[in-house]
Amino acid sequence: MGLAMRRPVVAGNWKMHGSRAANETLLADLVERLNPDWQTDVVVFPPYVYLADAVRTLEGGDVGGGAQDVCAEPMGAFTGQVAAAMLKDIGCRYVITGHSERRRLYHEDEVLVARKFGAAQKVGLIPVLCVGETLEEREAGRTEAVVARQLDAVLAMNGIACLAQAILAYEPVWAIGTGRNASPQQAQAVHEYLRRRIAAQDAKLASRVRVLYGGSVKASNAAELFSMPDVDGGLVGGASLSADEFVQICAAAAARH
Ligand code: PEP
């Protein structure tokens, strides 16, 4: 399948950053500077407490809003958690599942990630499933085994067809927030592997699913990364907090289309 057939996605994961004032400025800058003619899906993931405000601000426009996490349970006595239906209720369209910070710092295992993915899809949210290896795993030659295990856990629980309404993100843990991005060739190799693994079950889905690269994406490296045939855009952390950087990254993704 040619590059042009998958619409690129640029997703901005704000993590635990921002304030009402800073978010207002950032969103206003983004809305003003993103070109509506760019054939790219753009999504921002503010912290929960600011999400409803952000979604309201973005309503009717081209930028989508998403949550950084979701509870696997549908409702009930789960203090501090947020249900998928609540996210849907406020107009949120996407949710990140399995981010490495949640896997590592909050001990989310593959089964929990798969359940969160399923909970999101059940209410019509689009999960962005993150997979990726640590430096130690890469150096031990285990990259493919690790991302395969992370992907397979989700497919085993939710079925291969779940990928029709989902986005994948390859995020090598050693590249997140370190300033050290994977080379375009390293990213391409893993993206291609993921697509091949999916194709073994469903070739059509494999050619359609969008696979983003995440890990120190910046304005200065985005075009090179996005020029790879299986890299369909980026999941961007630090650089998504600067309208200037983020808009340039979106422009690089649009140029790929
Ligand atoms: C991320 O948090 O998903 C990420 C890729 O972060 P950064 O761009 O800062 O490396």
Per-residue model confidence (pLDDT) at position 256: 82
127 φ, ψ (degrees, to nearest 5): -75, 140
Measured in Å, how far apart are the chain's first and last C-alpha atoms? 13
Per-residue model confidence (pLDDT) at position 257: 59
3-state DSSP call for residue 94?
A: strand
pLDDT of 53-95, one tens digit each?
Answer: 999 999 999 999 999 999 999 999 999 999 999 999 999 999 9
Q: Is 171 among the catalytic positions?
A: yes
Spot the catalytic one: 99, 110, 137, 245: 99
Q: Which residue among 168, 236, 241, 246 is best mutated to probe the pocket of ligand 1, counting the most ligand atoms within 8 A of its Cβ? A: 236
pLDDT of 129-183, one tens digit each?
Answer: 999 999 999 999 999 999 999 999 999 999 999 999 999 999 999 999 999 999 9
Q: Which atom number of ligand 1 is nearest to the Cα of residue 175?
A: 10
Structure pTM? Answer: 0.96
12 CB near ligand 1 (under 6 Å): no
Q: Does residue 5 surpass a pLDDT of 90? A: no
- CA–centroid distance, 148 to ligand 1, in Å, is 21
Burial of 24 (0-12, 13-18, 19+ CB in 10 A): middle
Q: Is 59 among the catalytic positions?
A: no
The 8-class DSSP code of residue 182 comes to P
The letter for the amino acid at 135 is: L
133 CB near ligand 1 (under 6 Å): no
Per-residue model confidence (pLDDT) at position 116: 98
Nearest to 123 by CA among 146, 90, 155: 90
65 CB near ligand 1 (under 6 Å): no
